Amino acid sequence: MTVALRPLCAIDVPAVLRLQAQCYEAQYLESSLAFEAKLAAAEPHQSSWIAARGEEALAYVVALPVCMQTLPALDAPSITPPAQPELLYLHDLAVAPEGRALGLGRRLAEQVEQSARALGLERIGLIAVQGSQAYWQRQGFVAIEPLPAVLAAKLASFGLDARWMERRLN
């Protein structure tokens, strides 16, 4: 059976929480309220996706248009979308162990790039955690330092090893 991608929506939150628990350490787990807020901010832009084989969710990505001032902290219970976003923020990408050999991370990252282009945004940003910086570098992202104070404060909620990374779209 093939793996299909479709826009992520609120009814997918239980599957997202299950995938999140399989992929992230305890300090990175977010509540259903936080995911619902992110999906509400992302849904009008079709910038968040789920990969499923039949009814089995194998991976997801949550990305939303933001400004540095509106970047949500980890487990933020609400989000105020900006009128004029600066970039597409790839907040979360998780792939279940049984989906990792299927190239789903790359497929979902490509969907995020297409969403950014459709929104007229020239860059994608993310916070690399759990030692994922090398993976994101292979996807064309670079660590940005020094950080503006507003971004450094948000980054602190993700832990000491968190790194802000960006990719410019040509």
The answer to whether the beta carbons of residues 102 and 3 sit under 8 Å apart is yes
pLDDT at 142: 97
So what's the pLDDT on residue 150?
83
pLDDT of residue 115: 95
Task: Report the pLDDT value the prediction gives residue 118, as an integer from 0 to 100.
Answer: 95
Confidence band, pLDDT 50/70/90 cuts, at residue 91: very high
Least confident stretch, 12-16, 20-24, 48-52, 158-162:
158-162
Residue 157's pLDDT is 83
Q: What is the pLDDT of residue 3?
A: 94
Question: Percentage of the chain with pLDDT > 70?
Answer: 100
Q: What per-residue confidence (pLDDT) applies to 95? A: 96
pLDDT for 44-71, tens place per residue? 888 999 999 998 999 999 999 999 888 8
Model pTM above 0.85: yes
Chain centroid, CA 25 distance in Å:
16
- Cα torsion angle, 75, 50, 164, 101, sign: positive
Query: What is the predicted pLDDT for the residue at 133?
Result: 95
**Mean confidence (pLDDT) of the chain:** 93
Strands (E), 46-136: 49-53, 56-66, 87-95, 123-128
Tell me which of 3.20.20.60, 3.40.630.30, 3.40.50.1100, 3.20.20.140 is the CATH number of domain 4-168: 3.40.630.30
Residue 132: exposure state from Cβ atoms within 10 A (0-12, 13-18, ≥19): middle
Q: What is the mean pLDDT of residues 97-104?
A: 92
